[in-house]
Chain A
Amino acid sequence: MEPAIAFRDVSYGIRGKEILRHLDLEVAAGETLVLLGRSGSGKTTALRMVNALLTPDAGEVLVDGKSTRAWDPILLRRRIGYVIQEAGLFPHFTVARNVAVVPELAGWEPGRIDARVDELLSRVGLPPGEFRSRYPRELSGGQRQRVGVARALAAEPSLLLMDEPFGALDPVTRRDLQRGFMALRRAWTKTSLFVTHDVREALALGTRIALLHEGRLEIVATPGEFLEAKSGEALIFLAALEDLPEA
């Protein structure tokens, strides 16, 4: 089967600094591939190439078999859900309007949009009656992130990109949202690409983990294989899993 996303020998740099070097990676339809790495490893850069926020300097990124250079970026992005760390909700829109953005852009009729918004808010654990007409500033960080997920899912994208979506949350809320994400994932057939620097999160959420180190792909492994991995960077991440410094 054709991969949902394919990186083909992708390189990218900013002002002479190489961010990604010859990345070759395929994401199969329906899987949750986690891009794991430290800050500056190139994981977010790779993610942002999928919805054409960035274009590779060399090589190409294929989405559904078509290069992002060949896609109309507007059409491509409307097929892809995108969740970022600070949620990026529109502060002047209510929760309902935030969730409705992409369906509105796609020209859905209002009745269908309303029904969809209610369905999604319920699915991410926010009772629509209570949350529909609130503004983002009236929500907690975790609630905002839930709205961000609902918004990304609104127009039934086949592909979901998540850039450290739970990174700015407190540990309890983060666990909550990770559980919610896993529950959602069981119910859908979407492909997702998930960026994190948290090895625990990678092991819990990924069907496969791609470890990036200084712009290079170090290994791609299932969580089970990753635990047994012997490569240098993987060992460093696994060590971080175990030893907590004593206070």
Chain B
Amino acid sequence: MPPTLFREILERTGEHVVLVAIALFVAALVGIPAGIALTRKAAWRGVVLGFTNVVQTIPSLALFGFLIPLPFIGGIGRRTAVVALVLYALLPVLRNTLTGILGVDSAVVESAVAMGMTDRQLLWKVELPLAAPTILAGLRIAAVTTIGTATIAAAIGGGGLGVFIFRGLASVDSAQILAGAVPAALLALLADGGLGWIERRFARF
């Protein structure tokens, strides 16, 4: 492998990781509190889950395209890519937060309430710790899919490993495609394994 290619792979992998990390961070920052809010407001569940479900069904290349003409969040470049990735990552994070909390044994929740816990205490001392493995599983799913989807970011100038893939497709050069695809696959495996390990450490109960 020519050293310039190797250097570019490292560089693009770095871009890719940053892209995914920002998207996941924002998705967690929005999705977890939103999921918690939905456990308290049953009436909103249908609307919010419906919206995130619909977003998930939009083909990713199309979604990136739709975002380009939008003011503020759109345009060509990394910001637009991050917005699209956040929209995709949101559903698994949100849904797993919701199901994780709703799945806590009702006898445990009832005891907590009957012992005089406030809603905040119930959430922090009981619900979140017990839902943590499920919430982490949502983040793990989001991470793995985002790593894959982020390769499309290159189509709108978002950088990352997708640059190799699009270049390889344009020049019918499978070595270039592999230079993007293999590191992306390795990243996905790494994220899956790492987050899975953390998840198991939380899932002792």
Chains A and B come from one and the same complex: yes
Give A contacts to B, CB under 8 Å: 51, 53, 73-78, 80, 82, 84-92, 101-102, 105, 135, 137, 151, 161
Give the dominant DSSP class at A's interface. Answer: mixed
**B118 contacts the other chain (CB 8 A):** yes
Complex: how many Å from CA A101 to CA B111? 11
Complex: how many Å from CA A82 to CA B117? 13
What distance in Å separates the Cβ of B184 from its nearest Cβ neighbour in chain A?
Answer: 36
Please pick, from A75, A77, A84, the residue contacting B107 in the complex, using a CB distance under 8 A: A84
A78 touches B116 (CB 8 A): yes
The residue in chain A whose Cβ has the minimal distance to the Cβ of B104 is A91
What distance in Å separates the Cβ of B124 from its nearest Cβ neighbour in chain A?
Answer: 12
Give B contacts to A, CB under 8 Å: 105, 107-108, 110-118, 121, 125-126, 129-130, 204-205
A88 touches B205 (CB 8 A): no
Complex: how many Å from CA A77 to CA B117? 9
Complex: how many Å from CA A78 to CA B113? 10
Please pick, from A77, A92, A137, the residue contacting B115 in the complex, using a CB distance under 8 A: A77
Please pick, from B105, B116, B204, B205, the residue contacting A77 in the complex, using a CB distance under 8 A: B116
> Could you say which residues of chain B place their CB within 8 Å of the CB of A82?
111, 114-115
Q: Top 9 closest A-B pairs, CB basis? A: A88-B111, A78-B116, A77-B116, A88-B107, A82-B114, A91-B205, A86-B107, A74-B116, A92-B205
B107 touches A90 (CB 8 A): no
Complex: how many Å from CA A90 to CA B205? 10
> Could you say which residues of chain B place their CB within 8 Å of the CB of A85?
107
A-B contact count (CB 8 A): 61
Q: Besides the contacts A76-B116, A78-B116, A88-B111, what 15 more A-B pairs have beta carbons closer than 8 Å?
A: A51-B114, A53-B110, A74-B117, A77-B113, A77-B114, A77-B115, A77-B116, A84-B114, A85-B107, A91-B205, A92-B205, A102-B115, A105-B115, A135-B205, A151-B115
> Could you say which residues of chain A place their CB within 8 Å of the CB of B111?
82, 84, 87-90
Please pick, from A80, A90, A105, A161, the residue contacting B108 in the complex, using a CB distance under 8 A: A90
Complex: how many Å from CA A92 to CA B112? 13
What distance in Å separates the Cβ of B30 from its nearest Cβ neighbour in chain A?
Answer: 26
> Could you say which residues of chain A place their CB within 8 Å of the CB of B105?
86, 88, 91
Complex: how many Å from CA A77 to CA B115? 6
Most buried by B among A78, A88, A151: A88
> Could you say which residues of chain B place their CB within 8 Å of the CB of A137?
205
The residue in chain B whose Cβ has the minimal distance to the Cβ of A72 is B116
